Structure 1
Amino acid sequence: MLVEMAKRGEIDPWNIDVVEVADRFLQELEKAQKLDLRISGRVLLYAAILVRMKAEVLANEALRVDDSEEQAELIPDEIDFGEFFDEGFTDFKDSAESVEGDELISFLLTPHRKVRRFTTLKDLIDELKRAEEVHKRRKRRKRREEEKDVKVILETPHEENIEDTIALVEKELSKLFSKNRVLYFWEVVKGKNREDILSYYLSILHLAFRKKLEVEQQRIYEDDIEIRWLGE
């Protein structure tokens, strides 16, 4: 998308204004949505990064951070856009993992980080690709941690009586349902540690299997889990 914008002459590949390109990028996304075009996870990720970079630039300027850098190079009459990305790079056409908010771009929150307002297309694309790699590493690490935690909980019945935990969770939920028709998982486990959260989750699944509860989640990994009481 950025390369296409440069080819159309909408942005200067040798002197890109991060604030302006962030706004233009969002405009392109809005056009794509109106046309019902498929928008990949990578495009959404890059949009989030550009918005964050814009915020950093404006914040730095508001604080009078001297981060200017002159780029007075002459622009050639003809530009080979192939030099702005690596061989095999397909811009935003390939799919990517979904966006998960600010954690995807937390590397941009490094203390005292200064984001340049003006940069080249190549440097901007490199920055976006670095952000994507950080996101992928964080996703892999998070997945490994979750798998490890689930394994620990699944092995718990061999070390302690899981029925005691289920009974405890059922008793607590029964009290909560006396005041609420519907509960939400993250409200129930608020303030609890990771191990307790997983124990509650496993117990609620057991209770749902036993027809004591009804659980529903509209979108996996995105929406909270709704819990409805079916017991007496």
Structure 2
Amino acid sequence: MLVELARKGEVDPWNIDVIDVADRFLNELEKAQKLDLRISGRVLLYAAILVRMKAEILSAEAVAHDEEEEEEYEIIPDEIDFGLLELEDGYEEEEVKDEVLKTLLTPRKKVRRFTTLKDLIIELQNAENVERRRKKRKKDSEVDIAGKTLGTPHEENIEETIIKVEKELMFLFSKKTLLYFSEIVRGMNIEEKISYYLSVLHLAFRKKIEVFQKKLYEEDIELKLCSQR
């Protein structure tokens, strides 16, 4: 897809804007969703990596901007709708989810906003190789957990989980106009928190709620109803 964009002259191969490329990737995925097309697992993984890179760039820019304005907000990247995509190439949905979760859970990483096509492709391939090694280590060290319920979207209908989370949030919103993610998931294990967060992303994608974080990686995640502006 990156090479095709360069061939069409839509991006400068010697001066690529990573944020622009991330947005283009997401637009292509949205078109594929509407056409009910199957998506390569590699493409979806690359899109998730680009979203993370975009968030890291925006975070760095926000830090610089916050020196002038303390009240600046950044919107959490929530553009990928996992449930509507079918993965191929041996990739698992959790691999892609992990990339988005790294946006919230990993330390800041310095990412250049402008780069060359060659360097960007190398960066994506390196990230993919790291993910493959992580997956292999996980399999090598994993004990047999057959029959153990983890509460992940693979073991229950994704849509049912989203509906359940939406009902819980609507009940909470009837009492408060602003919710904090850490308070909602308090007492949950890591698998339940991930499942809940992904449902929140789905609801944000569907314009049911808005998700904010004043400072990426540092502040709690705020949830509001979309109608509250």
Q: Give the TM-score normalised by structure 1.
A: 0.49
Larger radius of gyration: 1
Q: Give the TM-score normalised by structure 2.
A: 0.50
RCO comparison, higher one (Cα < 8 Å, 6+) = 2
